[in-house]
Amino acid sequence: MLRRSLRIPAVGVAYLVTAAVVSSAMASGPEEYADVAVSSGTRAGPGTAATLVIAHRGASRYAPENTLAAVDAAHRRGLIWVENDVQRSKDGRLVVLHDATLERTTDARKVFPGRAPWRVGDFTAAEIARLDAGSWFGKRFAGERVPTLAAYLRRLDRNGQRLLLEIKAPEKYPGIEAQVLRELRVRGWLDRAHVRSRLVVQSFSVPCVKAVHAAAPQVRTGILGAPGPDDLVRYARFADQINPRASAISSRWLATVHRLRGPHGRPLQVYVWDVAKNTSARSVRARGVEGVIE
């Protein structure tokens, strides 16, 4: 997912997301597929003041994106929800990385100079594990690694965090939907507690989202993009969220989305991303979205 910076003052983040509220909300909440709200203990929904802030690729303004350091940076700032990107290595391991290539966020060019264009799927997990995924961001992150999905899930569990997982470019990795679900199951992320309030799987690929829902209908899913009304009706059969670029939506479009109910009988939710620079959290809330991926 592309990113731009939504500047939310520290006090605003503290107001939106507090560890105490999230802890109590996780322990309570009778609704099977309820999102916890992040301000006053009420549940998030259209027209409410509570808008979830999801740490995009972890707290990627403070640590190298999609690393365990970024997960921990989000945790320190009270950000309970974390978004990441999952791809597959040449030897079939699931790794957490955004770009189609390793060049931008690792030292692959230096370590493997003869293997341009350094596509993720052309490297084994052991080769990817050799790479420095932190120095490009700052010297103090030197030696940070590209995590496997398994390691990422362990860290989230340790921190008590929640996951908005994006399956990246599934057309490049046939069968990745089933593989992701197997990994989630093995790591305990398909139990009732995680499925109820700690996990959403999303993708730009509609067939991918549909496949995830077919294989694990209890898992909440999201489609990235801003589909038209006819598609929205069809997608509501297997998606719980429609997550568009912020600039692509209108009040009329939001109203159309919120009138529809997803496969679990709840109104479709909207989490926006690529929010324009200097946009305030209040103005985003006023539009009636349930979440901001920042």
Q: Cα Rg for the chain, rounded, in angstroms?
A: 18
Among 56, 194, 213, 258, the active-site one is 56
Torsion of CA 241, 159, 98, 202, to 10 degrees: -20
3-state class of 13 per DSSP?
Answer: helix
Nearest CA to 10 out of 59, 43, 46 is that of: 59
- How far apart, in Å, are the Cα atoms of 214 and each of 149, 191, 207, 263? 22, 17, 10, 11
Q: DSSP secondary structure string, 165-217?
A: EEE--GGGSTTHHHHHHHHHHHTTTTSHHHHHHTEEEEES-HHHHHHHHHH-T
Is 264 annotated in the active site? no
Q: Name the residue type at position 219.
A: V
Q: How far apart are CA 114 and CA 148, in angstroms?
A: 24
User: 18 exposed, middle or buried (CB, 10 Å; 0-12, 13-18, 19+)?
Assistant: middle
Q: What percent of the chain is helix, strand and coil (3-state, nearest 5)? A: 35, 15, 50
Which member of 98, 194, 213, 258 is catalytic? 98
64, 269, 275 from 282: Cα distances, Å: 27, 18, 13
Dist. CA 163–CA 72, nearest whole Å: 13
CA separation (Å) from 138 to 52, 133, 275? Answer: 28, 10, 25
- 96, two tokens: 């957490």
> Cβ of 190: how many Cβ atoms within 10 Å?
17
Active site residue ranges: 56, 98
